[in-house]
Structure 1
Amino acid sequence: MASMGAVLLTLTLTGADGGGPTGQTGQAEAPRRSFTAPMLGLPSGAEYRCTVSEILEPSCGVWWGGSPHEGDVAQLEEAAGRRMDIVYTWRGIDQAQVPGERERRLVAEGRFVHTNIEARRFTRPGHPDVSYRSILAGEFDGVLRDQARAVAALEAPYFLTFDHEADANKRYNKRGTPQEFTRAWRHIVDLYEEEGADNAIWVWNVTGWRDNLDRLPGLWPGNEYVDWISWEAYNMTGCDLMPGWDHVDSFEDALRPAYEWIQNEGPKHGIDPAKPVMIGEMGTTFIGARETLEWYADVPRVLPEYERIRAVKVWDSKVSEGCDFRLGVNRYAQQGFEMAGRDPYVNMPDRVRRLVEYAHRD
């Protein structure tokens, strides 16, 4: 597991010659590398300061990303009018090729990748469930070690989740008990560490729904096994899979319950509220032309009010006929998301990306 933010890579540039990265939190000092203003795309005499931790937590804004419909990142980026910082991908625990060709290409093109490793057999028709007990018994250890070695070989930071939404009704106590989930999580992280995948950044993802919050303590793997905390921010008005959803939740309405629970109740259950937060999925069904546009366009206004949120990913997919979140089929959603993506708060400067790139070369 990537160290828990123990090292901060701090970039301060002053004057034509630039400066150098310096940083520390507590006892650890950051790796040092010489930077100049032109190297990082800054004009001569510019001043800029930002920090990016080993687990990719930025201090100067929010990473912007998404889960593209049918894996088509080009289509999502065309609708968004910009490149995604993070792309969400989905794999099974029985797949040795993690990252696969697609993920490696995304990394090579300069994007971060977040892969959910589902407790399901993706190599079999229907993707049948896998029990946590079988994972703990070592049935998938060989595959997991292959995955870990492949991640390590990337020599680039890589976000990983095991079995997202373990608190959801369709998963909770279905593949095993909460205790077995946490033990399986720790088992997987330990295997990755044994194989040298120090660039793996572990993202604990739950639904974040108010009715599921009391399930979270039992699903927490422990601070030393989690780098980022993640949940979702949806409005599902009119969704045929949610017949009781007859109201409209704003983006802020959707993210607030879990945020407040982590900050206020999390420490009572051993959850560190200082960990960075990723809104792993977000989006709204169609709620009217102006309302849909404004739902997305309002996201950047909300984010600075919740300082632990450091990444957001849109869910650009269709769940069912009556529950469609694809930006490309709703011009109001597309326009709102495009407007949001132009906000400086969710546009990490290229010079910050280069800081990450250069730091991980050392």
Structure 2
Amino acid sequence: MESGPVRVMTSVGAVLLTLTLTGAEGGGAAAGGASSTAGAAGAPRQSFTAPMLGLPADTEYRCTISEILEPSCGVWWGGSPHNGDLDALEDAAGRRMDIVYTWSGIDQPQIPSESERRMVAEGRFVHTNIEARRFTRPGHPAVSYRDILGGEFDSVLRTQARAIAGLEAPYFLTFDHEADANKRYNTRGTPQEFTRAWRHIVDIYRREGADNAIWVWNVTGWKDNLDRLPGLWPGNEYVDWISWEAYNMTGCDTMPGWKHVDSFEDALRPAYEWIQNEGPKHGIDSTKPVMIGEMGTTDIGPRETFQWYADVPRVLREYERVRAVKVWDSKVSDGCDFRVGVNRYAQQGFELAGQDPYVDLPERVRRLVEYAHAE
């Protein structure tokens, strides 16, 4: 099975960036300096000493961050803030989000927006879902994949791509998330038209030099939808991360049939196992990093709600391909609320989880990305 070529960001000289901290007397670079060494495949790696990153000279720490931002030492922690209120989410979390999930329409040329640019400037990663909908019109009406393939939005897409290329920073992108969901599947077009539209968009971005765009294929991950995934796969060379969702919706008034309780692991496992076991049979590269694009639970009781979130880091350690997780901090209806800041027990569990070292990557790991772009 071919995994497809890995894109090299124009501002990054190394295929794999390696943080190796061995102190002033250790191997590699001299104290205070950096050097390039050859990796296992002969590709250059960037070495840094502990003093460079503000650590004691005798510190030993190793971590790698790939050019598509896959960390070897833990998981990025993020979220989609309710009404775009990032401050409220981060106050509830008791920490800064590594990744912020945002939403735009394919008809919007202002991607990234000013707020997205500000988040990038402040050191966060942004993940924008570009919906096949017209966000510039009331009601955000849907767009057919045929219209996209026909070139109706090419000019807008070129503008988006040039703006993202100009950031000279990595930027996560998804086209039309949850294409496997009942309300979307075969509604905006066929699965084949979805995959063609995805490739059409990626090709435009690449022609405009947006090699810093990191493409995240997102589906619901629901067990009943897994047989739809092969027909929605754009191809290994057009996808960098694989993403799905992990929800518990007990008592949600929009899901009246949901009477059971799914733990975070219960929600994560089916798609994970399908990708690992069945994905390769359908040409899906199961070694690609995984992002849990949205997660959360409704109120299932004080202790249970707290534990649902508190267990997340423990579960993640058991699913090694998962390298990013984002909470969906929003409200569907009065009877279906996932905002962590309005539920004392959700907030406490989420805050505790976010302090776990596995999902609280140190600032020195983020600096690895910054050094790469300074090369």
TM-score range (shorter-chain normalised) is over 0.9
Cross-structure match for 2:222: 209
Which digits, 9 at most, give the CA deviation of each residue in 1:67-117, with x for residues without a partner? 000001110000000000000000000000000101000001110000000
- 2:247–2:264: 8 Å Cα contact kept in structure 1? yes
Aligned-partner Cα distance in 2 for 1:23–1:274: 23
Cross-structure match for 1:15: 23
Aligned-partner Cα distance in 2 for 1:26–1:241: 51
Residue identity opposite 1:13 in structure 2: L
- 1:202–1:227: 8 Å Cα contact kept in structure 2? yes
The structural deviation recorded for 1:41 is 1.8
Aligned-partner Cα distance in 1 for 2:89–2:254: 24
The structural deviation recorded for 1:44 is 1.5
Question: Segments of 4+ in structure 1 off by > 3 A?
Answer: 18-30
Quick check: 1:281 aligned with 2:294? yes
The structural deviation recorded for 1:45 is 2.0
Question: What TM-score do the two structures reach when normalised by structure 1?
Answer: 0.97
Indicate how the Cα distance of structure 1 residues 25 and 74 shifts in structure 2: closer, same or farther if over 3 A, else same: farther
Aligned-partner Cα distance in 1 for 2:270–2:57: 45
Question: What TM-score do the two structures reach when normalised by structure 2?
Answer: 0.93
Indicate how the Cα distance of structure 1 residues 293 and 173 shifts in structure 2: closer, same or farther if over 3 A, else same: same
- 2:20–2:49: 8 Å Cα contact kept in structure 1? no
Match of 1:293 among 286, 306, 309: 306
- 1:13–1:48: 8 Å Cα contact kept in structure 2? yes
- 1:236–1:248: 8 Å Cα contact kept in structure 2? yes
SS in structure 2 opposite 1:90?
strand
Quick check: 1:156 aligned with 2:160? no
In the TM superposition, 1:68-107 aligns within 5 A as 68-107=81-120
- 2:185–2:191: 8 Å Cα contact kept in structure 1? yes
- 2:107–2:153: 8 Å Cα contact kept in structure 1? yes
Quick check: 1:174 aligned with 2:178? no
Aligned-partner Cα distance in 2 for 1:354–1:23: 21
Aligned-partner Cα distance in 2 for 1:24–1:169: 45
Residue identity opposite 1:139 in structure 2: E
Aligned-partner Cα distance in 2 for 1:69–1:25: 44
Which digits, 9 at most, give the CA deviation of each residue in 1:18-62, with x for residues without a partner? 6646464645434x4x63422212112211110000000000000
Match of 1:29 among 44, 62, 78: 44
The structural deviation recorded for 1:265 is 0.1
Which digits, 9 at most, give the CA deviation of each residue in 1:309-352, with x for residues without a partner? 00000000001111100011101000000000010000111111
Indicate how the Cα distance of structure 1 residues 25 and 146 shifts in structure 2: closer, same or farther if over 3 A, else same: farther
- 1:67–1:87: 8 Å Cα contact kept in structure 2? yes
CA RMSD in angstroms comes to 1.5
Extract unaligned runs of 5+ from structure 2. 25-30
Extract unaligned runs of 5+ from structure 1. none
Q: Percent identity?
A: 82
Count residues with an aligned counterpart: 360
SS in structure 2 opposite 1:302?
helix
